[in-house]
Chains A and B, each alone.
Chain A
Amino acid sequence: MKDIHQLKSKLSTLFAEQYFAVLATRSGDSIHTTLVAFAAGDDLKTIFVCTPRATRKFANLKQNPSVSLLVHNSSNMATDIRQSIAVTVSGTAEEVPADRLEAARAVYLAKQPHMSGFAASPNTAIIEVTVDRYDVVAHFQDVTILEIQKNRIVQP
């Protein structure tokens, strides 16, 4: 696990295999978690989820875009605690703007084709989480952090 290329490829595999993640959003002092169907961008820098706008998670992330997701491959066996991988994603969420909507929807549906009706509904927002870092937990307590450096150009 302690090789960045191996680590990234593990993440790609995990994101390809797992349909669901737990999304945590915040409103004031309260944390709210929900199970969401997600898709990850090929470059591991973005995670996409869909949500109806009239939901608590949507209201929360509009108010506080700082979110966290948990993706794991545990299969509810006692031994998973040693064998499964759990990844905490920390990042910033925003609704995908109209000009990039088609591209985002394509990524999302490539992974979740059965969600096409849901994703196309007028009240559904596609949310893009720009990842700041991954906390990868393997073998129960082996934690590696993968950070994405911010070298984006600051707009004047």
Chain B
Amino acid sequence: MNGILSFDRIERFHHGLVGGKATTLATLMRGGITVPDGLCVTTTVYEDFIRTTGLGTRIEMEMGRLPLAQMRWEEIWDMALRIRNLFLNTAVPDPLREMLASELEARFAGRAVAVRSSSPQEDRAGSSFAGLHESYVNVRGLDAIIEHIRLVWASLWSDGALLYRKELGMDMQKSAMAVIVQELVAGECSGVAFSRSPDGADHAVVESVYGLNQGLVDGTITPDHWTLDRRTGKLISHTPAVREQAMRTVAGGIALMPLAEAERHAPPLDEDNLERVFGMAMRLEKTFEGPQDTEWTIRGESLFLLQSRPVTTTQDSASDSTPWSAGDKRPWYLSLKRSFDNLKVLHRRIEDELLPQMAAEARALSKTDPAELSDAQLIQAIQTRMRIHRYWVDVYWRDFIPFAHGARLFGQVYNDLVKPEDPYAFTALLGETRMTGMERNRELRMLARMIRSDNRLRERLSSGKMDDVNTEFSTYFNAFLERYEDLTFKSVRFFKDREGLIRLLLEMAEHAEPEAAAGRPEIASLADDFIDRFPEDRRAFARKLLEIGRSSYRLRDNDNIVLARIEAQLLKVVDEAKRRIGEFDRLNANALTPAQTVKILSDPSTIPEIVKEQMTIDEPVQHQGRPGLATPTVDNADGDFIMRARQLIGQPAGQGLAVGKARVISAVNDLFQFKSGEILVCDSIDPNMTFVVPLAAAIVERRGGMLVHGAIVAREYGLPCVTGVADASALITTGDRLTVDGYLGIVTIGD
């Protein structure tokens, strides 16, 4: 055998070679069920490919960087992106290519096919890889088919698949991928059928849309939904959808198309076909001795089965907590893949509705002067603002975080098309300086410039004579304070006192202005080059994707800042409440939570109770939702032995090399102490604190990922940056001499 098996030659014992999906299809074909004809490129071809090209070793090296358990979801995504890029940049060797070519040519010769994953690990009872590995529809021509086989191979290492295999305790190194190449049946309608409902109820479910199945499976198109009695097939209920679009084949892929008028008014399945689909699902349940989750399509008179796998029952959703408040959020994060159409809707919602609403909300709240409120009004204001803040934190998790996938989707499309050596080359197209944080930094630079060019002003400010400075400076300075007074960091408002800001401005004025990152390719020409690579009729799609990618990239900064403005409005009333509560013996007024201030203000006799609460909780206020600074501790002494870190590894997130003293940021004050040329070390960079970045020589961040704030802002300024350095803020001490290698992702401590 040459590594390829046609469906009619696949036996059950081939499972390890052809995977679950191919075994199932072959079994069904033999049992008389109509499936689109095809063949399977077995795991031996995959293994041959990764062995002869050396790719297998490179994957193992990539996997060896860090244990998966220690990785954040963004780091897992990054690793998957790098592995995918390795596949994209590794050509299929000639002998292998010739073998594939002769088989594929003989069978499909110019006809459209679907290229689908069929992993030996998927679709076994208890392990459904549904949607984790990739499949491609409407692929035509030898080169394109081989290209897509390579992409399906790469999807064995997708972020979701990696995490899933890890959870199931599967051996990563032994994973292999088989690929099904199958005639494409572009049906008039398609759908899914569950012989038993996945929610555990004792009935069958059929869902259907016009056109191809992809729009239904990825959630872009809402299907018509039928519930049927499992025993009799009797219809229990039909929920029609608002039918507007269908996924159909277009040159080079598939696209959403509007439905014809008649289709909008009629369900995609008539009664007879509903019965046929139900009948097939029940028959499959019998064949496989268990409830089945199937995909099907109907062309003309023929009902084709596309896929059948065991139903995986949805998890017990008894707890009412939101998925993003779970202990391990990584599965939720990695489930956030959004289709292009889905992102398009989210994009408009965020840019046109949510962000303006949030800004307006913060503005409206800022009109109230807390000092003028009576105690009762103040209590009410705190309660209202807690509710408002909570509401927007939820929006942040529900809409903003998933939208971050926009930048990733763009990156993937870009890499597939351009195949750059650097898998992050795409960020150059996304970078533009419309981030709120960058505007604030520009204004700070302008204030520093005023000081730099005016000795008298500098002297006045240095000797604390703020009242005696020229009016131009104080006008701008006050305007700045007013604009940014509501930025917060670790639940402290930044510019509560002016002194820290003046100290920082004086420090900025001492040094020449940092140059904008030099030698960066022109964004406009990069963007044009990207768009020109698409055929004429796909360029609108490319432009939209770029727009979404940029918006998503920008939002990673702006959403935090806008959310912080709302939080600041809450903190403003809470600060006023704390002021009124004043100092009491043993009560730490500063650490009071908003709810505690309400309690004390309403009834001062609760103070002893609150003191007790404060004593039992180590961590004071931790606002949920926004990244707070954990203070990791490291056990570094044992008897005569002393441990210290010499060299730490992370991810290279901004190219360049820098040497300087570390400034570890763990409180607002550390930021205002920042000296030019120091290296910013922190747990996670919050966009609200990036104003010291122009002074920094490099950035080191514990949180990993190429698209975290630290990495984004470092690239904006052309600074060396290493992210994903475990325990960075605990292992490095302010004043340590650091060498930051942003090419390799290495931080060296000491000389």
Task: Please give the residue numbers on chain A whose beta carbons come within 8 Å of chain B beta carbons, in ascending order.
Answer: 2-5, 7-8, 44-45, 78-79, 81-83, 135, 139-149, 151
Contacts and interface: CB of A to CB of B under 8 A. Distances in A.
Given A5-B635, A141-B746, A143-B646, A79 B64 contact: yes
A7 B643 contact: yes
Nearest to B744: A141
B634 interface: yes
B64 A82 contact: yes
11 contacts: A3-B635, A4-B636, A5-B638, A45-B640, A78-B61, A81-B61, A139-B649, A141-B744, A145-B643, A147-B642, A147-B644
B156 to A, nearest CB: 18
B642 A149 contact: yes
B731 interface: yes
Nearest to A148: B640
B99 interface: no
Nearest to A140: B649
B84 to A, nearest CB: 19
Contacts of A7: 643
Contacts of A45: 640
A5 B731 CA distance: 16
A95 B577 CA distance: 74
Given A4-B638, A5-B638, A142-B647, 8 more contacts: A2-B645, A8-B641, A78-B57, A79-B60, A140-B649, A143-B748, A147-B644, A148-B640
B591 interface: no
Nearest to B731: A2
Given A79-B61, A79-B64, A83-B64, A135 B638 contact: no
Contacts of A83: 60, 64
B647 A2 contact: no
Interface residues of B, number: 28
Which 8 A-B pairs have CB atoms at the shortest separation, nearest pair first? A82-B64, A143-B647, A143-B646, A79-B60, A4-B643, A4-B638, A78-B57, A142-B649
B646 A82 contact: no
Contact of B647 (A3, A82, A141, A149): A141
B65 interface: yes
A8 B637 CA distance: 11
Given A3-B634, A141-B744, A82 B60 contact: yes
Given A2-B634, A4-B635, A141-B744, A146 B66 contact: no
Given A8-B641, A78-B57, A144-B644, A139 B634 contact: no
A60 B465 CA distance: 69
Interface in B586-642: 634-638, 640-642
A143 B748 CA distance: 9
Contact of B640 (A79, A81, A139, A151): A151
A27 B405 CA distance: 61
B649 A141 contact: yes
A15 to B, nearest CB: 15
B33 interface: no
B727 interface: yes
Contact of A144 (B65, B640, B646, B748): B646
A149 B645 CA distance: 16
Nearest to A152: B640
Contacts of B66: 139
Contacts of A3: 634-635
Contacts of B645: 2, 143-145
Contacts of A146: 641-643
Most A C-beta atoms less than 10 A away, residue of B65, B634, B640, B645: B640
B644 A145 contact: yes
Nearest to A83: B64
A143 B749 CA distance: 10
A44 B638 CA distance: 12
Nearest to A6: B635
A79 B58 CA distance: 8
B450 interface: no
